[in-house]
Amino acid sequence: MAVEEVAFTGRVVYIGYAKDLVSYETRLFVQKELDILGSRNALPEDFHRVMSMLEAGRFPVEEAVTSVIPLDGAPETLRQWDENPSRFSKIMVNVS
């Protein structure tokens, strides 16, 4: 879908994994002269830039966290998340 919707000469970046195969018309790569990239994990410089952003207060952490749960609550929360993925955004487990 991303390849179909992207503008001509645009870029598509894949993050994360899918177990199922994806298929699309490869003529679009050439016709639109696309850049299609993978992005894996992060480098130390990404960590440093993020921490600078957080230290400057430029990211709304509280808004991003849906719930904080105890470790013992994690199995049930995983099940609830599995049943309704859109119910949670970022879950944090408070271990100690």
Q: Which of 24, 31, 33, 94 binds another protein (CB under 8 A)?
A: 94
Between CA 47 and CA 79 the distance in angstroms is 31
Report the site for another protein in 35-74 (rule: CB under 8 A).
37-44, 46-47, 49-51, 53-56, 58-66, 68, 71-72, 74
Site for another protein, residues 5 to 24, rule: CB under 8 A: 5-13, 15-19
Cα 38 to Cα 11, 14, 16, 30, 42: the distances in Å are 11, 5, 9, 18, 12
Q: Does 95 bind another protein (CB under 8 A)?
A: yes
